[in-house]
A and B are shown apart, each in its own frame.
Chain A
Amino acid sequence: MIVTNIETVPGKTITEHFGMVSGNTIRAKHIGRDIMASLKNIVGGELKGYTRLLQESRDQATARMIDQAEQLGANAIVNVRYSTSSITQGAAELYVYGTAVRVA
């Protein structure tokens, strides 16, 4: 599966469009991490636990999008966009969407 965020796959031509595919995930970290994060809020700096959480969530959302594209019979996803929204304290939604195509 080729995933790009430009409108084409360089060196290949798009032969078929399958429409939009997307994947999302909502995750929260356990309370221990949240307490660590609020302590880190005093001294500042990077919240490694949250960075890892969001990276894992983003990978999972992308995997879901790829699953969906595979079911449609696509072999590439173009014009992929990410978005993040916080819905409650300590939880975040990761959303990824793109257009499933077949390239040759």
Chain B
Amino acid sequence: MFDIIIFLALVAMGYFIGSFSERRHFRSLETREADKLLQPIVTMEDVAYPEDQIQSATLVSGSAVISVDYFKRLLAGLRNIFGGTIKSYESLLDRARREALLRMREAAPGAGVIVNVRIETASIGRRANKKGVGCVEAIAYGTALTLRK
């Protein structure tokens, strides 16, 4: 009986606090992405800029570790029985990647363009006795080019 109460409390905490902080995070992502609209990021190596217009090139990176909440883990566990898309994990990875990309761009405020952007995702802190995602790390990195005015 006591176990069930603890379990329900954890699920409720995960649901309420988790969804609240997720909404807040998405709002902050949207406003910060709107600020950065004028700084293009591309995945190609070549850009159309002539070479003498490029002043310097530096490697910039940004990363974020986002953890899943108890409620989402429960949902994902249920999904594993029936199959299908696990929406709760999709938003988790989306947040981690967008946050990493934004941090990379914020690390290069003066850059005209960031080329050859790569995103990597790693699952870290996985426990041996529990399967699945504990928390994910997303890292974004690229070469920031500063342009002559």
Contacts and interface: CB of A to CB of B under 8 A. Distances in A.
Interface of A: 2-7, 9-11, 37, 40-47, 50-51, 54-55, 58, 80-86, 89-90, 92
Interface of B: 10, 13-14, 17-18, 21-22, 25, 45, 49, 51-52, 54-59, 61, 63-70, 72, 92, 99, 115-116, 118, 120, 122-128, 134-135, 137, 139, 141-143, 145
26 contacts: A2-B56, A2-B57, A3-B58, A3-B59, A4-B57, A5-B59, A5-B141, A6-B116, A6-B143, A10-B51, A40-B67, A42-B13, A43-B13, A44-B14, A44-B67, A45-B22, A45-B25, A46-B25, A50-B137, A54-B139, A55-B63, A58-B63, A80-B59, A81-B118, A84-B137, A84-B139
Interface of A: prevailing SS: mixed
